[in-house]
Amino acid sequence: MDAELRVPADGAFVAVVRTTATGLAARLDFTIDELEDLRMAVGEACALVLPEAVPGAALDCHFALAPGRFTMTVSVAATAPELDRDGFAWQVLDALADDVVTEITDDRFSVSLTLRASLADTPVDH
């Protein structure tokens, strides 16, 4: 299942993005701790892209849900984006997410993150 969300590229809307992401991921086999990790990772992904947004831009969010796997891409219009891989946001995101992919073009900056549920890999005895 895929879903999309567009909000103003303003830090005041990060809570909406985090709430949406964790609400969608709650439908998967994530534990409470994994949902909290996801919530933090989403916030840090937003923290990476928002400072690079051009004035008046939107924060575009794409969510891809699969059994036991949550993937999200956040992106903004940006004129000369730079990725700070030494900053706090990157370090937290890299520690929490199973996969992190960034894409920088002349006019767009995006961060994609994937988290997998640990319970999805555990066989269930019936």
Residue with tokens 């640990």: 118
pTM, to two decimals: 0.88
Which architecture characterizes domain 2-121 according to CATH? 2-Layer Sandwich (3.30)
**Which residues neighbour 94 within 8 Å (Cβ) at sequence distance 6 or greater?**
100
pLDDT (tens digit per residue) in 102-118:
999 879 999 999 999 98
Residue spans per domain, the chain:
2-121
Cα–Cα dist 115/98, whole Å:
5
Asked if residues 17 and 89 have their Cβ atoms less than 8 Å apart, the reply is no
pLDDT (tens digit per residue) in 33-87:
999 999 999 999 999 999 999 999 999 999 999 999 999 999 999 988 888 888 8
